[in-house]
């Protein structure tokens, strides 16, 4: 057996002996789509975890049967029927291993596409609010989502937007700067000419006074 096959067997043994894989969670209802926002990505190509579990269980059982027949053959010659059974089990194990690798490849491709979609959505919402970054999206996702029920970038952005609104209303929060209203009798200050920029405030006042006498 080659080194590559040995590595695959070690990986499969690790997965076979791992804790049970949880059942699939039902898909959430699609959120209302707002015009201009990224649309939810379909998950029709997602590989069910239940199918992966079936393949691993089948491979585990087949490998055990192969082991028992091989051990028996080491003690005494196998009958023709047992030899056929051993070859059949080896064929099933090979098919199960190939199915396992196919599922793993599909999962890897789906994960790559999911990461690209996430990056695209973050860029979209960042163009709306520069404070919304990949780091902010990750922090919100870790706090409000779970491994089985992750939140979408759209949901993360809405949470970010709500939190910003709440923080802006807290005591001591910086207020947006607005022009002070003019009092009764006041007029808009005239722009200081460039030639007066080097004069003192008293010289400028005297110049304005003289111009009013003309």
- Is 60 in the same domain as 140? no
- Is 9 in the same domain as 68? yes
In a domain, 187, yes or no: no
pLDDT at position 21: 43
On whether the pTM is more than 0.75, the answer is: no
Task: State pLDDT tens for residues 72-109.
Answer: 999 999 999 999 999 999 999 999 999 999 999 999 99
- Is 72 in the same domain as 94? yes
pLDDT at position 207: 61
Rounded CA-CA distance 18/23 in Å is 15
In a domain, 110, yes or no: yes
- Is 10 in the same domain as 73? yes
- Number of structural domains (the chain) is 2
- Is 60 in the same domain as 96? yes
In a domain, 212, yes or no: no
In a domain, 81, yes or no: yes
pLDDT at position 37: 58
Residue numbers of the chain with a pLDDT score lower than 70: 1-48, 173-214
pLDDT at position 29: 46
- Is 100 in the same domain as 66? yes
Residue 152's domain comprises 129-172
In a domain, 59, yes or no: yes
In a domain, 153, yes or no: yes
- Is 12 in the same domain as 105? yes
Please say whether the beta carbons of 87 and 104 come within 8 A: no
- Is 3 in the same domain as 50? yes
- Is 1 in the same domain as 86? yes
- Is 2 in the same domain as 101? yes
In a domain, 183, yes or no: no
In a domain, 78, yes or no: yes
- Is 63 in the same domain as 85? yes
- Is 9 in the same domain as 97? yes
């Amino acid at each position: 057996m080659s080194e590559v096959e040995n590595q695959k067997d070690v990986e499969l043994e690790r997965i076979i002996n791992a804790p049970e894989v949880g059942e699939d969670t039902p898909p959430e209802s699609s959120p209302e789509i707002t015009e201009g926002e990224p649309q939810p990505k379909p998950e029709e190509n997602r590989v069910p975890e239940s199918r992966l579990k079936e393949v691993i269980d089948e491979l585990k059982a087949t490998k055990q049967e192969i082991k028992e027949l091989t051990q028996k053959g080491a003690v005494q010659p196998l009958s023709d029927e047992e030899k056929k059974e051993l070859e059949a089990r080896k064929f099933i194990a090979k098919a199960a291993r190939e199915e396992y690798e196919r599922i793993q490849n599909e999962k890897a491709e789906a994960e790559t596409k999911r990461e690209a979609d996430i990056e695209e959505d973050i860029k979209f919402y960042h163009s709306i609010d520069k404070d919304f970054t990949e780091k902010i999206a990750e922090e919100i996702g870790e706090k409000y989502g779970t491994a089985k029920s992750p939140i979408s970038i759209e949901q993360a952005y809405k949470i970010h937007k709500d939190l910003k609104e709440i923080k802006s209303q807290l005591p001591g929060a910086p207020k947006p700067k607005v022009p002070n209203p003019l009092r009764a009798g006041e007029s808009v200050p005239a722009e200081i000419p460039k030639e007066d920029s080097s004069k003192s405030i008293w010289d400028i006042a005297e110049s304005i006074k003289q111009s009013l006498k003309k």
